[in-house]
């Protein structure tokens, strides 16, 4: 399976600032996704990161708040903009290999906003 490196692994940020999370995969993958896991809850899909084009956002998530880049088939970034304490969550990068529907996840970025 693909090896997914996500950084930072955790951060503590001030309200109103922005944080960019990086996801690097050791092989080319067809699909990359970003998920959010709020404290004590399950995972919610934020968006699909499309290579070379704008990301596809799920209901409740917008590009201005969560801009995403995917310049190639192995790398993506998620920015959490103008953060508030409600953004405190674990943010997870996931990838799908060869369209087989099996998603693999990075170790996540635990974000705390003060």
Q: Which residues lie near another protein (CB under 8 A)?
A: 1, 4, 6, 31, 33, 37, 39-45, 48, 90, 92, 94, 96, 101-108, 110
- Kindly state the smallest distance separating residue 77's Cβ from another protein, in Å: 17
- Kindly state the smallest distance separating residue 105's Cβ from another protein, in Å: 4
- Kindly state the smallest distance separating residue 47's Cβ from another protein, in Å: 11
Q: Which of residues 39 and 85 has its CB atom nearest to another protein in the complex?
A: 39
Nearest to 112 by CA among 24, 8, 35, 42: 8
Quick check: 28 and 74 in contact, CB under 8 A? Answer: yes
Q: Which of residues 36 and 74 has its CB atom nearest to another protein in the complex?
A: 36
Burial class (CB in 10 A: 0-12, 13-18, 19+), 99: exposed
């Amino acid at each position: 399976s693909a090896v997914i490196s996500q950084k930072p692994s955790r951060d503590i940020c001030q309200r109103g600032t922005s944080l960019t999370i990086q996801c690097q995969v050791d092989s080319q993958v067809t699909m990359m996704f970003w998920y959010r896991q709020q404290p004590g809850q399950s995972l919610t899909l934020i968006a699909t990161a499309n290579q070379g084009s704008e990301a596809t956002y799920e209901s409740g998530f917008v590009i201005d708040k969560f801009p995403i880049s995917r310049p190639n088939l192995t790398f993506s970034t998620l920015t959490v903009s103008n953060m508030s304490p409600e953004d405190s969550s674990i943010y997870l990068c996931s990838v799908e290999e060869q369209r087989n529907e099996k998603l693999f996840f990075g170790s996540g970025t635990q974000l705390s906003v003060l």
